[in-house]
Amino acid sequence: MAISLVTGGAGFIGAHVSRELIKMGHTVIVLDDLSGGNRNYLAEGVEFIEGSILDHQLLEKIFNENEIDYVYHLAAYAAEGLSHFIKRFNYNNNLIGSVNLINESVKHKIKCFVFTSSIATYGALEPPMTEDMTPIPEDPYGIAKLAVEQELRVTKEMFDLDYVIFRPHNVYGEYQNLGDKYRNVVGIFMNQIMQGNALTVFGDGQQSRAFSYIGDVAPHIAKCVDIKESYGQIFNIGADSEFTVNELAKVVMKAMGCESELRYLEARNEVVHAYASHEKARKVFGTGSLTTLEEGVRKMADWAKTQGVTSSEKFKNIEILEKLPPVWLED
């Protein structure tokens, strides 16, 4: 039976990937420091280790004590917009933490390292983004993701560590942290509706994204290790149709059964239109028909109502305050 280590398995995508792996018959070890995840979201049957990918001695111990076949590396702090203001934290957590895992994976000759990168690697390139474009990330989060991708490429050349890289984008669904005010617009809107607050929108709300339902993403991430054709490759993964944030707000209000005001804030420094082509993933994984935005948001809304209002904590160690959107300083 294959043994898989899932970092970030108490988080949103990791919780779903773990469930898929359990279905596939893998033994699953989850490593998560619970900085963004939730113990209640852990898949049934996983072995849970509370700890950080920054703790390289802990990693050494986990790899020494378990014959790990596959690493699914999903642990990260993915607040892309905030990453400009928490550069040190971003590179430490998302890049150095990843390097710690790559080191152990090389030493223990694991069979495949699966990494969730991001569409953020493309930056402001003309959409739809395709995997053959040369990435030009526009923020520290995207730069760290691209650096890990490059690290995996040279580690394969030097040490023959196999890998598969996914670049998901704007994934939403059950088990998403509703209380992170710095990321996940679908969850932020749902939480604001449950609080009876206006929905906050940066700029004019005409920026567009292809919001992607988790059920269309997690199974492919889990299964890739059995598809040798995917090794050494990068795949965009997610929904094909893009919607503006204003359109999304309407869909969320309908699913939550509640009208709210929109509160427009000063535009922040972000890519205006970001969506990707999934031709490559379709060829290799046969991704099939995708969940519509209405259907996916309704499923998430049904779940969010069972969670209720989730309190949003301020990020404690913001390193640069200049140009920080004022809404991020509010309680």
Which residues of this chain interact with ligand NAD, rule CB under 6 A?
A: 7-8, 10-14, 31-37, 52-54, 74-78, 93, 97, 116, 118, 168-171, 177
Instruction: Tell the smallest beta-carbon distance from residue 240 to ligand NAD (Å).
Output: 16
Cα 98 to Cα 105: distance, rounded to the nearest angstrom: 10
Instruction: Tell the smallest beta-carbon distance from residue 252 to ligand NAD (Å).
Output: 16
Cβ 276 vs Cβ 213: under 8 Å: no
Cβ 3 vs Cβ 66: under 8 Å: yes
Instruction: Tell the smallest beta-carbon distance from residue 176 to ligand NAD (Å).
Output: 6
How far is CA 322 from each of CA 85, 318, 326, rounded to the nearest angstrom? 8, 10, 10
CB nearer ligand NAD, residue 172 or residue 199: 172
CB nearer ligand NAD, residue 39 or residue 228: 39
CB nearer ligand NAD, residue 15 or residue 193: 15
CB nearer ligand NAD, residue 61 or residue 264: 61
Instruction: Tell the smallest beta-carbon distance from residue 196 to ligand NAD (Å).
Output: 25
CB nearer ligand NAD, residue 32 or residue 162: 32
Cα 269 to Cα 188: distance, rounded to the nearest angstrom: 19
Instruction: Tell the smallest beta-carbon distance from residue 141 to ligand NAD (Å).
Output: 7
Nearest-CB residue for ligand NAD: 11
* Beta-sheet strands, E only, within the chain: 3-7, 27-32, 47-50, 70-73, 112-116, 163-168, 171-172, 199-202, 208-209, 212-213, 233-237, 243-244, 262-265, 273-274
